[in-house]
Every structure is written in C-alpha cells, then in structure tokens.
C-alpha cells in the first residue's frame, strides 16, 4: 500500500499509472494538509461529537467541535441539533468566516441555557449563543431556544445577557424556532446587512424586564414577518444606525409594542430611516406604534410608516416620546433627535387606557407627521384623548382629533379604509 501525502516527493521513476491514480485521488478529495473537508455526510450531528442531550450534561464542547468541523467544510454543510433531546449549553461562540459560502443550522431539539448565574461566568460577549462573521447563514427548524432567564430578572444591574445574537452576519435567514425566557433580548441583530426573520414564536412573561423579542442595531435591509411575539418589553426595537426595515404580519402582545429607538442616549448621534410596519396586531400591549428618543441626543428618525394596524386593549397605541428618560437622565438638554416624515394610516381598534395618541416632542423637531384614517376608541366604550406638543403635520379622518395637526377632512371619504402607503422609491434596496 502506498501512502501519498501533500508533501510527498514523487520519484521520477514512479510508473505513469500510479501517478495518474494519485492525481485523480488528490482532485476528488480536498488536501487534508490545508484543513478542508468536502461535506458528503449530509450533516454534522452534535451527537456525533459527544453531545448527550439529557438536559443536565454540559454539551458546550460538543457543539463547539461540531461547529469547527462544519466551518472547515466546503459545499453546503449543516449543523444538526436533533429532536427529542435537551442540550445544556454554557455560552458558545459560533465564529466565522467559514470555508463554505452557505451554512445551515437545523435546530429540532431544545437548547437550554444555564439555570444559575455561575454558568454564565465565561460569557465575555454578553450573550449566550453568538454567531459572528458568518455570511449566508440559515438557521431553521421546529426546535426551542430556552434562555431560562428568570434568575436574571431580579438583578437588573447585572443583566446584560442576550440569548441569541447575530453579529456581522450578512444575508441571514432565521425561521421556525421557538424562543423562550431570555435573560434580556431574545434575538439581537448587530451590523447585519440583509436578513429575513420569519415564523418565529417568542415568549416571556409580561413582567419580565428588558426581554425584547427582536432587537436591531446598526443593520440594514431587514425583513421580519409572520411571527408571534409576547414579552416583557418591545416586541421589536429598531435602534441606532439602522435603515430599510420591513415588518409585516406580527402579532405583538403582551409587550411594549414595536418601537423605533430608543435613540440618543448619553448624547449619542443615532439615525434610523425607512422603517415600514404593516398588517400587525397589538394586543394588551403597554404601547403600540412608538418612537422614543432621549433628551440631549442628536441625529434623526425619518421616513417611518405604520399602516394597517389592529389594536385590542393596547395602551398608548400611537406615541412619540422625545423625553424618554430614566433617573440618570437630565431632562433639560440643548439638543434632540429630529423626528420627521412619519406616517400613520389605517390604525384602528381599542386602547387599554384613555390616551389614544401622544405626541410629546422637543421644540421644532417633530415635523411632517401625517395621520390618515385613524380610529381609536376606549376598550370600555368611551372616548380617548389625543395630546400633542411641538408637532407639525396633517391629519385626516382621525379619531381622536389631534389638536396640533392641521385637519384635512374636507371631501375625504372617512369610511374608506382601503388606503395604502406608497413608500419612496428608494425605500427598499
């Protein structure tokens, strides 16, 4: 038997047939000296790398080994988390880039976070499961990601742990999974360009603090659709330096609604633009369609559209709050994030309190606010109020009437609810 390695020196006298065979063998399989493997197995099952899946044994190393093998593989490799198992994981980093241009992760079983704070000691990135620098990543399945975050909810000053984070993961797809009880944000997108999140089920108690469903920062071209989100904070939060966000078909509640911001904390310059929210339901939420900025910040939130929204006992259904603040905040500041070109259209249903519309803006910075075919009433059958400060814009067919806005009800068909927003041509890239 002749062993031919990558660094073997082939003697000139080796016969032609043997040399030809060696060349064919080297072409059909990747050279092991370069650390690359062609995926012919159909997947990298974590059980094959030592995972137990009994919910008590730490399977972190097995997941890391399976990922390392996958990431060195060409083709379209797939990491498999099999059904019928519960995998206890300490904080795990899934680092890219990988050799393949397309990586798949199929989650069919349950992934469990540590059940005590001691299990998070090696969490240097403030997240439990982190994918970083992996382009064309597809994470899907019918499994569950359980953050078991209740231990953290009573320790707010220590709580900075995200359950699942995607950092610099361009052309991401995430679908089908159930996300439970994160210590803080359930899903975080940071510096991602191009992502589709769909058919997700995200759940945490209404009393759980800071448990955003999906948190977006410094990301562009994000599409989120057809998902159920019930948490103790924002169902979806769009944070600074994000643009071209399309949100469709979200059932939100309980929670704090779908929010742009908060923006401008600690004097930061932050921008958000071209956000399109449509065909969403807010049920027993603390807020509905919300924009929130801190005093003293700078930047802008502009070209934001909320359309075809159903409300069911949703408190503060429409709100712009430019004085979003905690006890560390100084209310009197010389600057503010500018809010402009915000359109609300075909929003109807019931409010959980007496405040249907709140526009609380800093001086001269909320401009071109448009309201069209808004009908909000109290869940107990009474009327609701609209309050506004420092707002410029127009309203038509809006109940309750917004006193700061110019009314344009003349010749309008206020019974026609089939209205559509036509976003600017450069909205979708």
Q: pLDDT by residue (tens digit) across 84-121?
A: 999 999 999 999 999 999 999 999 999 999 988 777 76
Do residues 245 and 275 make contact, with C-beta atoms less than 8 angstroms apart? yes
> What confidence score (pLDDT) does residue 126 get?
82
Averaged confidence pLDDT in the chain: 87
Q: Which of these is catalytic: 228, 233, 321, 372?
A: 233
Q: Which of these is catalytic: 256, 321, 346, 372?
A: 256
Rg (CA), the chain: 26
> What confidence score (pLDDT) does residue 4 get?
34
pTM: 0.88
Q: 372 catalytic, yes or no?
A: no
Supply 299's token pair.
């930047």
Cα 90 from Cα 265, distance rounded (Å): 32
Confidence of residue 124 (pLDDT cuts 50, 70, 90): low
How many CB atoms within 10 Å of residue 8?
Answer: 10
Q: pLDDT higher for 209 or 333? A: 209
Residues with Cβ within 8 Å of residue 289, at least 6 apart in sequence:
257, 258, 277, 282, 306, 309, 317, 318, 319, 344, 347
Cis upstream peptide for 50 (omega within 30°):
no
Q: pLDDT higher for 326 or 20? A: 326
Secondary structure (DSSP) of 358-414: EEE--TT-EEEEEEEEEEEEETTSS--EEEEESEEEEEEEEES--TTSEE--TT--T
> What confidence score (pLDDT) does residue 420 get?
58
Cα 288 from Cα 317, distance rounded (Å): 4
> What confidence score (pLDDT) does residue 410 get?
53
The 3-state DSSP class for residue 253 equals coil
C-alpha neighbours within 13 Å on the C-beta side of residue 49: 22
The 3-state DSSP class for residue 38 equals strand
Cα 154 from Cα 138, distance rounded (Å): 34
Q: 256 catalytic, yes or no?
A: yes
Do residues 222 and 248 make contact, with C-beta atoms less than 8 angstroms apart? no
Do residues 376 and 351 make contact, with C-beta atoms less than 8 angstroms apart? yes
> What confidence score (pLDDT) does residue 179 get?
98
Residues with Cβ within 8 Å of residue 361, at least 6 apart in sequence:
320, 322, 339, 388, 389, 390, 391
Q: What is the mean pLDDT of residues 354-379?
A: 94
Q: What is the mean pLDDT of residues 377-397?
A: 93
Confidence of residue 363 (pLDDT cuts 50, 70, 90): confident
Q: What is the mean pLDDT of residues 128-144?
A: 97
Largest CA distance in the chain: 98
> What confidence score (pLDDT) does residue 329 get?
65
Secondary structure (DSSP) of 22-35: HHHHHHHS--GGGT
How many CB atoms within 10 Å of residue 250?
Answer: 25
pLDDT at 338 over 50: yes
Q: pLDDT higher for 213 or 8? A: 213
């Amino acid at each position: 038997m002749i062993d031919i390695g990558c660094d073997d020196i082939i003697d000139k006298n080796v016969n032609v047939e043997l040399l030809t065979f060696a060349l064919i063998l080297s072409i059909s399989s990747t050279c092991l000296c370069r650390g690359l493997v062609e995926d012919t197995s159909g997947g990298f099952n974590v059980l094959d790398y030592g995972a137990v899946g009994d919910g008590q044994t730490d399977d972190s190393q097995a997941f890391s080994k399976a990922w390392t093998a996958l990431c060195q593989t060409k083709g379209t490799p797939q990491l498999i988390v099999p059904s019928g198992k519960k995998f206890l994981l300490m904080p795990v980093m899934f680092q890219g880039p990988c050799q393949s241009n397309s990586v798949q992760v199929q989650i069919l079983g349950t992934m469990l976070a540590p059940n005590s704070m001691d299990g998070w000691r090696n969490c240097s990135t403030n997240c439990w499961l982190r994918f970083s620098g992996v382009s064309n990543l597809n994470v899907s399945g019918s499994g569950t990601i359980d953050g078991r975050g209740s231990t953290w909810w009573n320790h707010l000053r220590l709580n900075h742990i995200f359950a699942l984070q995607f950092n610099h993961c361009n052309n991401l797809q995430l679908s089908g999974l159930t996300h439970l009880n994160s210590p803080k944000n359930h899903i975080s997108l940071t510096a991602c360009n191009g992502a589709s999140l769909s058919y997700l089920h995200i759940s945490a108690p209404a009393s759980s603090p800071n448990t955003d469903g999906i948190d977006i920062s410094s990301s562009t071209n994000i599409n989120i659709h057809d998902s159920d989100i019930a948490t103790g904070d924002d169902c979806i939060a769009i944070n600074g330096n994000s643009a071209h966000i399309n949100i469709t078909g979200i059932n939100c509640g309980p929670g704090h609604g779908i929010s742009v911001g908060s923006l401008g904390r600690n004097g930061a310059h932050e921008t958000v633009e071209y956000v399109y929210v449509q065909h969403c339901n807010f049920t027993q939420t603390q807020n509905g369609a919300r924009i929130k900025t801190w005093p003293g910040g700078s930047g802008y939130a502009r070209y934001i559209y909320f359309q075809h929204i159903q409300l069911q006992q949703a408190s503060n259904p429409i709100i712009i709050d430019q004085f979003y603040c905690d006890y560390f905040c100084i209310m009197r500041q010389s600057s503010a994030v500018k809010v402009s070109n915000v359109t609300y259209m075909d929003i109807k249903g019931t409010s959980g309190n007496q405040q249907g519309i709140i526009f609380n803006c800093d001086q001269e910075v909320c401009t071109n606010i448009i309201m069209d075919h808004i009908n909000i009433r109290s869940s107990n059958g009474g009327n609701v109020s609209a309050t506004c400060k420092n707002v410029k814009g127009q309203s038509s067919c809006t109940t309750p009437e917004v006193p700061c806005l110019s009314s344009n009800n003349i010749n309008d068909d206020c019974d026609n609810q089939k209205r559509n927003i036509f976003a600017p041509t450069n909205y979708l890239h």
